[in-house]
Amino acid sequence: MIRRIIDFIIILLFVWVCMILGLWIIDRVIVPMNLAGVTNNLLSAIFKVGISAFLVLIWLWIWREIVKRSFWHAIKKQQDY
């Protein structure tokens, strides 16, 4: 029972830390970025939103992969026993 809880704690903590880190990167790195060759403010904003959205998609993908691999690893381990 404890091992199952630890599995979920690890996944949830990892996902939460990634979310906080992602928000920090958006705030400190992406928003203050000066895009070389882009002088139009609207274009610059669209570009930054696009990068942020891409980061979110990567976050969701990492989350999905961790769960998928963890699930099939647990199933395989159970079969081996």
Partner 1 sequence: MLNETLIFASGFAVTLSSMPFVIRTMRKKGIGGIDVHKKDKPFVPEMGGIAVLAGTAVSVVTAILLFPESTNAALSFLACVFIAGLVGAVDDFKNLNAKAKPFLTLFASLPILIMHTYNPRGVVFPFIGQTRMTIVYPFLIPLAIAVTSNATNMMDPFNGTMSGSCTLITIFLLLSAVILGRSSALLLCLCLLGPLLVFFYYNKYPSKIFSGDVGSLSIGAALGAISVIGGLEVVALVAFAPQIMNAFYGLSSIGRLYERRDVSRPVMMLEDGRLMATKDPKAPITLARMILARGPLYEREAALLFLVVSAISGFLALATAYLIVVTT
Give the binding site for partner 1 (CB under 8 A): 1, 3-5, 7-9, 12-13, 15-16, 19-20, 23-24, 26-28, 31, 60, 63-64, 67-68, 70-71, 74-75, 77-79
| Shortest Cβ 4–partner 1 spacing (Å) | 5
Please say which residue, 18 or 38, places its beta carbon nearer to partner 1. 18
20/14 Cα distance (integer angstroms): 10
Buried b (16+ CB within 10 A) or exposed e, 8-46: eeeeeeeeeebeeebeeebeeebeeeeeeeeeeeeeeee
Please say which residue, 1 or 36, places its beta carbon nearer to partner 1. 1
